[in-house]
Structure 1
Amino acid sequence: MKKTVLTLAAILLVPSLALAADAELSYVLNTFSFLVMGVLVMWMAAGFGMLESGLVRSKNVATICLKNISLFGIAGILFYLIGYNLMYAGVDGGFIGSFGLWGPDDAAALSGDYAAGYAASSDWFFQMVFCGAACSVVSGCVAERIKLWSFLAFCVVLTGVIYPIQGAWVWGGGWLSEMGFTDYAGSTLVHSVGGWAALTGAIILGARKGKYGKDGRVNPFPGSNIPLATLGTFILWMGWYGFNGGSVLALGNAASAIEMSNVMVNTNLAACGGMIAAMILVQIMYKKVDVTMALNGALAGLVSITAGPATPSLGAATLIGAVGGILVVLAVPFFDKLKIDDVVGALSVHLVCGVWGTLAVPITNSEASFVTQFIGVVSIGAFVIVTTSITWLVLKYTVGIRVSEEEEMLGCDSAEIGMEAYPDFQRVSIAGSSGISGYNTPQSR
């Protein structure tokens, strides 16, 4: 009798034990996904650093490297001090979360309750690296003439307050999320936010000396290292698999694994489409293929697909990226005509294609609405324009945001940090530098 009771008890316990094991395994896999994909997104910081280092003049390379690594440090600290809770804690359909330090709470999981789905710290880490990416967009656009500490002060406000508040509207369960606005991995929430911040900064800061002639001529400033810029693009392309793939936010079941696979393939094809379309259009327009336009075309495709990489077919993803590549080629001379000096093409890639990618979501996602997507783009754009303009202007009229004309001519490396990236090379001034006349492919010697 006793043996029978034990047998029956074991039979009854097996399903519950299996369910507990499945829940724990799902918890582990989801946590693992957040951490690994977060590392890939962090790797994008290196991509931004290398891309920008290759596209600025040699006299500003060390400064751009310092800016890219220090802004990541600022993003990490500010997202811990205020950003995460402001973005996620108690938004509940509103406009803002709560103020306060973030701290992990995994007590339930340690007691065997895996209902949370993943470790709290893994989620924080994944969200933090996105915050840093938004700030990296600004760095290259305002390069070669902005003061180091003024830029870093701006990063404090952007990563600690501006980015988390607008992020709360969608990813934190805020009012735009309630309306049905969708942005899978951040075409708007990350890329166009960085783009709007860069736009206001570039306008308030002004163009580099000699960039625009009185006769309307655009003087090309060739970059210091095209191989380095190409390496940066490859690193960003690779990191984007974590950016978009990790935004599935799960890897604990077959459906999530399939979705992640589709997202990564669509991400790759969009980059391919953007690069090839940009190369073809540049060849048609200027009779030569510009390397930097090919690089920015790939990045344009990546930004374009980021808002909705899960729903398009492979062909649709390629076309969405291709439109992004075309937009970049057209947007670069457009900003130059407005005399808005964007050193690395960040506005064309991240702002223009961020908007395009967000508005393109309903093309392949029947649950999304063009009207709602438009409302989201406009409201977030307006919020970021106002808040970043105020921040830039406060900095301009207090500590100043631009180096002196003499320091700009000397280079920020010598003037700001007293160290050059290429100390063994003699700086030479080259008149009549070659370049495709009529548009600025970000760069100078």
Structure 2
Amino acid sequence: MEIKYIIDTLFALFAMTLIIFMVPGFAMLEAGLVRTKNVTAVLTVNVMIYAVASLAFMLIGYSLAFGSWDNDGMSKWAAFLFQMAFVGKTINIMSGGVSERARIIPLIFFTVIMAAIIYPLVVNVTWGANFLAGTALDISSMHDLAGCTVIHSTGAWALLAAILIIGPRRRRYGKDGKVRVIPASNIPLVVLGALLLWIGWFGFNGGSVGSISSKENADLVALTIMNTNTAGLAGAVIVALMMYLKYKKFDITMILNGALGGLVSVTAGADIFDMYAPIYIGAIGGVIVVYGVALFDKLKLDDP
């Protein structure tokens, strides 16, 4: 029992470390996509989100989400650190989408509210203490391994609200509605950031299995990570094919977005799919990215 406890504690800490690599991942991705004059502001926002969100979740959010710090399967500190690594990602989804036009101080205030109240309440009714248990609104039976809904959907709805309130960047759209391309300032940073996110996803999904101390759980963790990687590969490949067939050239930023779309798509069920299903799931995620970008531009929703 003690060995199992130690192994699962170390596993949670290792997964948490991989997830923390997503902090520089988001920072590099966003810094590479924005104009040079805004790089420092973007990096500052990402560091502050990690720091402020982690503290707010530690002081308020974790107890609101789970009701108690007790954990029988591993160190309660390791369990907390693993969950803490998640919280900033929800806010990063929103902050990256309003790059170059959102002020740092309001973003910090939003981070506190999101990490201390909004995100913990979503966790509470899905993974946590569940104050809706026994009511018609109880959704705790929903299978969401690593937060396809809890994290990515919550962050995306927050982003949509922010985009509608703040509006697009200056000169992003012409008076005739035409899209004006704002080129990325540093493609190598974009690639580095996306690949760091990809690596972090292995801790994100694999760590969410919760245990690796038995043969069955070890196999499940390995399958989960393989499915995660497969979906990212499929998303990248399908977008590359779509770009080449339409434009006769490859677009690295769209290919990387396709990979990220595939990774998001498989996050809910990476532990329950067979080894082939993520190919279709990741490809569908990549296709959604391509048409989603076009739809956003048509609606003048500016997400760098």
Interval of TM-score (by shorter of Structure 1 and Structure 2): over 0.9
Does the 8 Å CA contact 1:171/1:177 hold for their aligned counterparts?
Answer: no
SS in 2 for 1:38: helix
Q: Distance in 1 between matches of 2:139 and 2:180?
A: 47
Letter in 2 for 1:318: I
Deviations 1:244-300 (A, max 9, x none): 000000112111100000000000100000000111112223332211000101111
Unaligned runs of 5+ in 2: none
The reply to whether residue 253 of structure 1 matches residue 214 of structure 2 is: yes
The reply to whether residue 233 of structure 1 matches residue 189 of structure 2 is: no
Residue in structure 2 matching 1:150, options 102, 106, 110: 106
The reply to whether residue 137 of structure 1 matches residue 115 of structure 2 is: no
Q: Which residues of 2 match residues 254-269 of structure 1 at below 5 A?
A: 254-269=215-230
Q: Which residues of 2 match residues 418-433 of structure 1 at below 5 A?
A: none
**Structure 1 residue 177: deviation in Å?**
6.1
Aligned to 1:286: 247
Aligned to 1:172: 128
Letter in 2 for 1:140: G
Normalised by the length of structure 1, the TM-score is 0.66
Q: Distance in 1 between matches of 2:138 and 2:231?
A: 26
Higher gyration radius (CA):
1
Deviations 1:14-67 (A, max 9, x none): xxxxxxxxx001000110111010010011111000000110111100111110
SS in 1 for 2:25: helix
Normalised by the length of structure 2, the TM-score is 0.96
Letter in 2 for 1:308: G
Q: Distance in 2 between matches of 1:179 and 1:105?
A: 20
Aligned to 1:28: 6
Percent of pairs with identical residues: 41
Aligned to 2:75: 119
Letter in 1 for 2:295: F
Q: Distance in 2 between matches of 1:283 and 1:187?
A: 29
Compared with structure 1, are the counterparts of its residues 144 and 32 closer, same or farther at alpha carbon in structure 2 (3 Å cutoff)? same
Q: Distance in 2 between matches of 1:192 and 1:258?
A: 28
Deviations 1:299-335 (A, max 9, x none): 1111011000011122111110110001100000101
Q: Distance in 2 between matches of 1:183 and 1:273?
A: 21
Unaligned runs of 5+ in 1: 1-22, 91-103, 107-115, 344-445
The reply to whether residue 161 of structure 1 matches residue 134 of structure 2 is: no
Compared with structure 1, are the counterparts of its residues 105 and 192 closer, same or farther at alpha carbon in structure 2 (3 Å cutoff)? closer
Aligned to 2:171: 210
Does the 8 Å CA contact 2:67/2:129 hold for their aligned counterparts?
Answer: no
Does the 8 Å CA contact 2:65/2:129 hold for their aligned counterparts?
Answer: no
Residue in structure 2 matching 1:323, options 272, 275, 284: 284
**Structure 1 residue 193: deviation in Å?**
0.9
Does the 8 Å CA contact 1:211/1:218 hold for their aligned counterparts?
Answer: yes
Q: Which residues of 2 match residues 74-89 of structure 1 at below 5 A?
A: 74-89=52-67
**Structure 1 residue 68: deviation in Å?**
0.5
Does the 8 Å CA contact 1:40/1:242 hold for their aligned counterparts?
Answer: yes
The reply to whether residue 192 of structure 1 matches residue 153 of structure 2 is: yes
SS in 1 for 2:288: helix
Aligned to 2:26: 48
SS in 1 for 2:21: helix
